[in-house]
């Protein structure tokens, strides 16, 4: 990258890199020269050629300008007259109308405005009160449904507990339960099928029975 040779001109910073054609996409905004900047030597003796003007267009523009100026002048004069009339009316009312009457008129306008705003406020409050009532009703219905669901779930748990109470171990039947467990044979030599069921080999059961019989005979002898 070439070194930056900065030159200050027309409140812009121009570099040699930007002046060259190596970066055509880099463009700068041209500013108007300040008053204190001298005219460049190439423009001292330069005479600007006047812009050609169409005579028909110039005539039309002059006519339209006269019409526009006349209409604007008449509108301004009318507004000025209307404002002066209003000022005179206000001065006459100010001096001729007593203060009590002026105060009563202002008070009547204020009361009318207060009545209108109160009606609007009451209407908006009624809408809000209806919405609040509906919201409260929905909340009450939701609470009732939730309490009913809780009651039904508790009742279901109680019924399930009552159905299973016969299988509970209590101090009264603990001896019977222990005796039943001791007399119950549990064989862990089984396999689990794909559907979750268990299968036991019958041959193993027969062999186990034979082994048990042999051990019983040995003990008897």
Domain assignment present for residue 123? The answer is: yes
Tell me the pLDDT band of 30, cut-offs 50, 70 and 90. low
Domain boundary among 70, 96, 122: 96
Domain assignment present for residue 69? The answer is: yes
The DSSP H or E segment spanning 84 is helix 55-96
Domain boundary among 158, 185, 201: 158
Read off φ and ψ for residue 40, nearest 5 degrees: -70, 150
Q: How far apart are the two ends of the chain, measured CA to CA in Å?
A: 112
Q: Are residues 66 and 24 in the same domain?
A: no
Of residues 191 and 203, more confidently modeled? 191
- Residue 78: pLDDT over 70: yes
Q: What is the pLDDT of residue 12?
A: 43
Domain assignment present for residue 12? The answer is: yes
Tell me the pLDDT band of 22, cut-offs 50, 70 and 90. very low
Q: Return the ∠ at Cα 128 (arms to 122 and 130), rounded to 5°.
A: 105
Residue 112 in 3-state DSSP? helix
Residue 191 in 3-state DSSP? strand
Burial 158-184 (b: 16+ CB within 10 A, else e): eeeeeeeeeeeeeeeeeeeeeeeeeee
Taking only the tens place, the pLDDT of each residue in 149-176 is: 998 988 888 888 777 777 777 888 888 8
Domain assignment present for residue 124? The answer is: yes
Taking only the tens place, the pLDDT of each residue in 51-60 is: 888 999 999 9
| Rounded Cα gap, residues 87 and 143, in angstroms | 69
Residues 6+ apart with CB under 8 A from 130: none
Domain assignment present for residue 176? The answer is: no
| Cβ atoms 189, 201 nearer than 8 A | yes
Domain assignment present for residue 112? The answer is: yes
Domain range for residue 25?
A: 1-34
Of residues 4 and 50, more confidently modeled? 50
Tell me the pLDDT band of 220, cut-offs 50, 70 and 90. low
- Residue 14: pLDDT over 70: no
Total domains in the fold of the chain: 3
Q: Are residues 133 and 90 in the same domain?
A: no
Q: Are residues 87 and 131 in the same domain?
A: no
- Residue 117: pLDDT over 70: yes
Domain assignment present for residue 183? The answer is: no
Residues 6+ apart with CB under 8 A from 198: 190, 191, 192
Q: Are residues 70 and 24 in the same domain?
A: no
Q: Are residues 119 and 91 in the same domain?
A: no
Q: Are residues 86 and 107 in the same domain?
A: no
| Rounded Cα gap, residues 63 and 57, in angstroms | 10
| Cβ atoms 199, 190 nearer than 8 A | yes
State pTM to two decimals. Answer: 0.28
The mean pLDDT value of the chain amounts to 76
Of residues 8 and 139, more confidently modeled? 139
Q: Are residues 9 and 23 in the same domain?
A: yes
Q: What is the pLDDT of residue 77?
A: 95
| Rounded Cα gap, residues 56 and 63, in angstroms | 11
| Cβ atoms 174, 182 nearer than 8 A | no
Domain assignment present for residue 194? The answer is: no
Q: Between the ranges 30-39, 114-123, 178-187, where is the mean pLDDT highest?
A: 114-123
């Amino acid at each position: 990258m070439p070194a930056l040779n900065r030159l200050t001109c027309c409140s812009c910073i121009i570099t040699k890199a930007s002046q060259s054609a190596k970066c055509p996409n880099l463009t700068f905004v041209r500013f108007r020269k300040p008053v204190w900047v001298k005219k460049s030597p190439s423009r001292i003796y330069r005479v600007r050629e006047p812009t050609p003007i169409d005579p028909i267009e110039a005539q039309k523009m002059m006519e339209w300008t006269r019409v526009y100026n006349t209409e604007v002048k008449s509108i301004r004069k009318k507004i000025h007259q209307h404002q002066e009339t209003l000022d005179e009316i206000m001065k006459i009312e100010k001096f001729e109308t007593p203060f009590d009457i002026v105060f009563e008129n202002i008070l009547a306008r204020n009361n009318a405005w207060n009545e209108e705003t109160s009606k609007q406020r009451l209407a908006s409050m009624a809408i809000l009160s209806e919405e609040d009532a509906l919201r409260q009703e929905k909340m009450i219905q939701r609470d009732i449904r939730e309490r009913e669901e809780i009651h039904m779930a508790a009742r279901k748990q109680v019924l399930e507990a009552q159905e299973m109470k016969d299988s509970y171990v209590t101090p009264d039947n603990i001896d019977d339960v222990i005796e039943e467990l001791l007399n119950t044979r549990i064989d862990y030599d089984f396999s689990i099928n794909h559907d979750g069921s268990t299968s036991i080999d019958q041959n193993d059961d027969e062999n186990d029975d034979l082994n048990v019989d042999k051990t019983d005979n040995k003990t008897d002898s």
